[in-house]
Chains A and B, each alone.
Chain A
Amino acid sequence: MLTDLSNFLSTLVPKSHDLVIAKDKSHIYSNMKYKGTRYFISSIKDAVSTPSLIRGFHRNMTESNPFIKWRRLIDDVIRSAYRLFVDLKGLDNAEQWQIDAINGSQKTLAARGPIGFFEEGSGYSWIVKEERDEKQYDVLLFRHGNDSNDVMKIAERDNYAYLITEANKGGNRKQNANIDKMPLGYDGMEVIDERFRELFHSLQYLHSNWAHDTQRTHHHLFFWSNDKIETYQSTFVKEALQRYLSSISNEYMFSVQGLILCRTDSNLQSIVMSSLERLSLKRVRPGSIFLISEGSDKMSKKSIKKYLSSVGIEIDYMHQTRSEISIHECQIETKNATEVAIIFPIWDGMWKESRDIDGEQIIFDH
């Protein structure tokens, strides 16, 4: 069954991405390469080990070469900013900032990856839009304090002027067609003060490395179905997987999700989840997506809920706030049984969305 799912998934992701069917936990561990985009597909029962699994993976990854590279690039930014702040804020304040920034950036890198450095509010540097004199500017901000409001303008770009200049370069007027396309990255940015140049260059180098680093993600998908994949409508499985892929599209380092496919066929009622599989479902986080394809059995939502419960899927547990229920729209045939897909995030013990926690946070200092 995992192979069939993998075959479906392989049609939806770029060929350069690896798909690994991990039959058990140790198989996942032993396949942890730290390059490229890789999808691990495992049975739902292994989701019970997710915190241990992801932390083990993450620990090894942060010791690997790509992370050493990011740490070096971020350290360069912090050093440049420190030199600037000695000038602007005095030695004591600059040193305090440097200590906080090193600690903070390490947490960010560990929990969010390099993208965390550029996230608005919680990161260290980001671009905002600003309108002045009927012109639109992109302004590069740098956080110089603990608060997200403690920011200073480092550089800016007059977007329209930049696009005109770019379009006219080399006298090639045809490029005017691209005039509506907004510039990306730090291209065309000018420092606001000459003293900011070193910091700007180190930021530009970090950002450019990040922007061109396309191979960087590992995804874990834990799967369960009460029937063979081939019995489901192919469009239904594809939509479920597309929704899964779309839910993880913004993840940088790793994602952990579950997928359940279930046919409400009375002949399948004896196929239920094992106790370990049911236990694994206790790792479900809020934010499940339900996809339903109606069958000729015309099951009501209440009946679907009852059926899922008989299989071992407690829908009340999964259907919490921020859940979404959709009807499969590309149905090409009416099947006897209703088909249900549930895509759900799994707690991985990493707090990667949090701005304040570097993974395992404990109250006491040791």
Chain B
Amino acid sequence: MVLLFNSMIEAKNPADFQQLTLSIQEQLRKDNSLSANSFNCFHPKWFGISDDLLVDDTICRFCGYKLSCEKFQVINHDSVEIFQLDDSSYPEKSIVESCFDGFDINGNPERTDPFMGFSSQAGNARKLFLISVANFNKFSKNNSHYKKIEPAIGYDSKFGQPIWIFDQILLNEIHKKNVLKKIQKSLSSGNFKGLKQLLFQSDEHRLRLIAIELGWCTQDSSEEDFEALKLILNRIAHVLLETSTSLKNLVIQPFLPYIDHPPNHGCSGTLNLVIRFLQFHSNILSYYSSSPMRLNDILFESQDRLVKSMISDISFVFDSLKSDDKIFRYFPRFPMIAFVPNDKMDGLELDFASGRIIDVVGSKTFEPLLLIDGLGHNLELHGPWSKC
């Protein structure tokens, strides 16, 4: 084989070169049967053959004419494979290829991975996934109260909750070193006498708006109910801040609403901490309400009524936000390119709880489709969309 290859390189005339190239092909066919991905040679005439000539990637790599062949340019570069997660129709090839048209630093056209900057896998050979918007959305429901979720970074599929960077830091902190148990213990002990007011005066109005938005209170709720809510949240704020210095730091750090956490009507850091904590761990209020110390508590009935309206089944149970492969519960928000027929643009959303559309390309497909970078996850095998 080496001898043949050297002879080909040193061939003295085109006829010898052609013959030696064919000999290498035959040798390769003998040594290794053709791979499953065999295809017809793009230029059989270069070998003096008028019929189809079956070749594969390995044969192409040893071909004497490879530098002139456009197929080899593809083989020689990292390529992406597009795997369909459902039986939706495939977009036009030229449209898909146009997504990979980019420009280099000098403005010259070049092939660019469209997920560059969005995925650590970009630029490497890998699988991308294609699915219809309708099927993707089946497992991407946003059950939170927040609809502008562009900056959210993750998604808890069990409860349909988008997760912001603030939430990730908060939840990681709560789920380490028994912090949650300490919080439960402090709430159960119910020692809330003489606590100073941690919420600001300006939070009062905002708290009303938030409480109504989250369904804890209504427009018609009494003043006593709002007072009771303020009391509960202030007590929980004390418990959170006394339990962990990291949580204390979270309150004073310059997190931005909308970017780092969902907008909470511009409330203080302390109120935001308590609100986000309760949205993920409202079940902890049962420790608060069952505390024997609260039997003679002020606003007892209002507090009890409120606690019932605040408790939901949402609860984070893992030690961190790392997903268990078998459960595949926590997702990053996958970057996606949408292929959308012109008459279906109107109904399209650009942000899903478990994915974000980074670009939209007009196509003639029957329905809107999404090309997904799995961020290292093989969505064909793992995740809810594998069953589509």
Query: Which residues of A does B touch, CB under 8 Å?
Result: 26, 29-34, 48-49, 51-53, 55-56, 58-60, 63-64, 121-122, 147-149, 275-276, 278-279, 282-283, 285-286, 320-322, 347, 349, 351, 353-357, 359-364, 366
Q: What is the CB-to-nearest-CB distance from A348 to chain B, in angstroms, rounded to a whole number?
A: 9
Residues of chain B within 8 A of A29, CB atoms compared:
102-103, 107
Q: List 14 A-B contacts (CB under 8 A).
A: A26-B103, A29-B107, A31-B107, A51-B118, A60-B105, A63-B105, A147-B249, A276-B342, A283-B150, A351-B165, A354-B256, A356-B165, A362-B333, A366-B376
Assess whether B335 is in contact with A279, with CB atoms less than 8 Å apart: no
Residues of chain A within 8 A of B202, CB atoms compared:
none
* Shortest Cβ-Cβ A-B pairs, 9 listed: A55-B117, A275-B345, A362-B332, A52-B359, A363-B154, A366-B376, A29-B103, A51-B358, A30-B107
- Residue in contact with B117 in the complex, picked from A320, A321, A360, CB distance below 8 Å: A360
- Report, as a range, how many residues of chain B touch the other chain: 35 or more
Q: Does B64 contact A (CB under 8 A)?
A: no
Q: Does B379 contact A (CB under 8 A)?
A: no
Q: Does B350 contact A (CB under 8 A)?
A: yes
Complexed CA–CA distance, A278 and B349 (Å)? 11
Given contacts A34-B105, A56-B116, A362 and B148 within 8 Å (CB-CB): no
Complexed CA–CA distance, A179 and B330 (Å)? 60
Given contacts A32-B103, A147-B249, A275 and B346 within 8 Å (CB-CB): yes
Assess whether A363 is in contact with B259, with CB atoms less than 8 Å apart: no
Segment 109-124 of B: residues with Cβ below 8 Å from A:
109, 112, 114, 116-121
What residue of chain B has the Cβ atom nearest to residue A348's Cβ?
B150
Q: Does B360 contact A (CB under 8 A)?
A: yes
Given contacts A29-B102, A52-B358, A366-B375, A279 and B263 within 8 Å (CB-CB): no
Assess whether A279 is in contact with B254, with CB atoms less than 8 Å apart: no
Assess whether A361 is in contact with B165, with CB atoms less than 8 Å apart: yes
Complexed CA–CA distance, A31 and B258 (Å)? 31
Assess whether A355 is in contact with B116, with CB atoms less than 8 Å apart: no
Residues of chain B within 8 A of A30, CB atoms compared:
103, 107, 109
- Residue in contact with B254 in the complex, picked from A51, A60, A121, A364, CB distance below 8 Å: A121
Residue of B107, B114, B342 contacting most chain A CB atoms (<10 Å): B107
Complexed CA–CA distance, A34 and B362 (Å)? 30
Residues of chain B within 8 A of A122, CB atoms compared:
254
Assess whether B375 is in contact with A364, with CB atoms less than 8 Å apart: yes
What residue of chain B has the Cβ atom nearest to residue A51's Cβ?
B358
Assess whether B117 is in contact with A362, with CB atoms less than 8 Å apart: no
Q: Does B285 contact A (CB under 8 A)?
A: no
Assess whether A351 is in contact with B117, with CB atoms less than 8 Å apart: no
Total residue contacts A-B, CB cutoff 8 A: 144
Given contacts A122-B254, A360-B118, A286 and B102 within 8 Å (CB-CB): no
What residue of chain B has the Cβ atom nearest to residue A49's Cβ?
B359
Given contacts A30-B107, A356-B255, A360-B117, 19 further A-B pairs with CB under 8 A are: A49-B360, A52-B358, A52-B359, A56-B102, A147-B249, A275-B342, A275-B346, A276-B345, A279-B350, A283-B150, A285-B148, A286-B263, A351-B151, A353-B256, A354-B165, A354-B255, A354-B259, A364-B322, A366-B375
Assess whether B266 is in contact with A321, with CB atoms less than 8 Å apart: yes
Complexed CA–CA distance, A361 and B154 (Å)? 9
Given contacts A122-B254, A279-B350, A353 and B259 within 8 Å (CB-CB): yes
Q: What is the CB-to-nearest-CB distance from B255 to chain A, in angstroms, rounded to a whole number?
A: 8
Q: What is the CB-to-nearest-CB distance from A362 to chain B, in angstroms, rounded to a whole number?
A: 4
Assess whether A48 is in contact with B356, with CB atoms less than 8 Å apart: no
Assess whether A56 is in contact with B346, with CB atoms less than 8 Å apart: no
- Residue in contact with B148 in the complex, picked from A34, A51, A64, A286, CB distance below 8 Å: A286
Assess whether B360 is in contact with A278, with CB atoms less than 8 Å apart: no
Complexed CA–CA distance, A194 and B163 (Å)? 47
Q: What is the CB-to-nearest-CB distance from B217 to chain A, in angstroms, rounded to a whole number?
A: 20
- Residue in contact with B346 in the complex, picked from A32, A279, A351, CB distance below 8 Å: A279
Complexed CA–CA distance, A58 and B120 (Å)? 15
Q: What is the CB-to-nearest-CB distance from B351 to chain A, in angstroms, rounded to a whole number?
A: 8
Complexed CA–CA distance, A31 and B377 (Å)? 35
Given contacts A276-B345, A362-B375, A363-B153, A282 and B256 within 8 Å (CB-CB): no
Given contacts A356-B165, A363-B332, A364-B376, A32 and B107 within 8 Å (CB-CB): yes
Q: Does B265 contact A (CB under 8 A)?
A: yes
Annotate B140-162 by CB proximity to A: 1 below 8 A, 0 otherwise.
00000000101101100000000
What residue of chain B has the Cβ atom nearest to residue A61's Cβ?
B105
Assess whether B116 is in contact with A55, with CB atoms less than 8 Å apart: yes
Annotate B248-273 by CB proximity to A: 1 below 8 A, 0 otherwise.
01001111101110010110000000
Residues of chain B within 8 A of A147, CB atoms compared:
249, 253
Complexed CA–CA distance, A218 and B148 (Å)? 26
